[in-house]
Amino acid sequence: MQDNTNSTRNLDALRIIAACAVVILHYSDYVKDTQVGQFMVAHTWHFNLFVDLFFVVSGFVIASQYLGRVGDPMSIGRFLWRRLARIYPLHLATLAFYVALALALHFGIARTDNTARYPLSDLPAQPLLLHAIDGARLTFNFPSWSLSAEMFCYVLFPLIAITVTRNKALIIALVVLPALANSAYAAATGTGSWADWINKGGAFRALPAFNLGVACYLFRDQIARWPVIPGAVTALLAAFILAGSWLPEMADLIVIYAIATLAIQSDCTCRDTLLTTFGFDRWSSLTYSCYMLHIPVATIVLTFGARDLAPHLPGGRLTLIPVAIVVLAIASLASLRWFENPMRRYLNDAFDRRIGTRRPVAVAARPDTRR
């Protein structure tokens, strides 16, 4: 079968939709004292599982680009550096924003009702991307926990790649065993569903999803031969969005895995869905920017801005939600064009100059603009 893994249009469409859903989830919390906000909070809590879709997509794309290319220390170092070059600059920039805010709070220059969110004691874990393993709580730019979880998967990827190169069927065990281990630990400790792990255990929550993405890449030919159900991706996605709040978390997680797998099937057979017909995939390059910047924008517009503006607006803080979304869109475009892309190119070129090698052609031909 022809390898069509260069087509990820449906996965790209899902990524930007997932990022927008996470924004809706978090922005709803800022207006939970209104009827609209209460409704949104009650019916969008399951949107947090869209982060698991990111992990599946990440596993698929990383496998498509690097499987068979991380067999020695030099190639592993190049792989990890390129992943850091993609995610670290914006993480560090948003962390610096909140560190500056924490210092302003400490010296009485600014004030907040949630001082526990800015503890300087949590700083060591944040720059080291360790806060999804055993973080004390969600702090600073808290969506960055998923970057820590992804980095955990990236570090393990060379071992995963070596394992499945010898026997690709072993990837099934690498999906099932971490999921079973998570379930056993959750049951033994009474911590609840592992689909809810974030700062404590978020890295282990990500691993089954990431490995599922790798598995989908390895078995893409078989997935492409599955019976085609027209409209399945869109219908299942719509059902999840509208009715997912009535399902248990683990059931929702399985639905997310199914949505990602069906999107991969569509991409492997180069089939359009309503997601690509409406052009959602065209905005996928903004996924990471939107995801990482939506909380800093909310801090500026919905927290600090609302103190002066909300009392004078008919809908109060609710009226500022569209303003925050517009600001987020502009900030995301600016960040991608003038900060993230230049920094990624600079860091990758610096690494290549340091080791005296060129970027592999296959990777250079497909710029990584994933979240």
* Closest by Cα among 60, 49, 11, 44 to 287: 11
Predicted pLDDT at 184: 96
pTM for this predicted structure: 0.92
Decide if 252 contacts 240 (C-beta within 8 A): yes
Rounded-to-integer distance, Cα 9 and Cα 185, Å: 37
Say whether 200 sits in a helix, a strand or coil: strand
Beta bridge pairs of residue 200: 134
Decide if 216 contacts 173 (C-beta within 8 A): no
Report how far apart the first and last C-alpha atoms of the chain are (Å, whole number).
29
- Helix and strand totals (H; E) in the chain: 17, 0
Predicted pLDDT at 136: 67
CA 302 to the chain's CA centroid: 23
- CB-based burial, 42-65: b 16+ in 10 Å, e otherwise: ebbbbbbbbbbbbbbbbbbbbbbb
Q: Which residues of the chain have pLDDT under 70?
A: 1-6, 112-116, 136, 356-371
CA separation (Å) from 297 to 149, 252, 310, 330?
Answer: 23, 29, 16, 11
* Structure confidence by residue, pLDDT tens digits, 258-283: 999 999 999 999 999 999 999 999 99
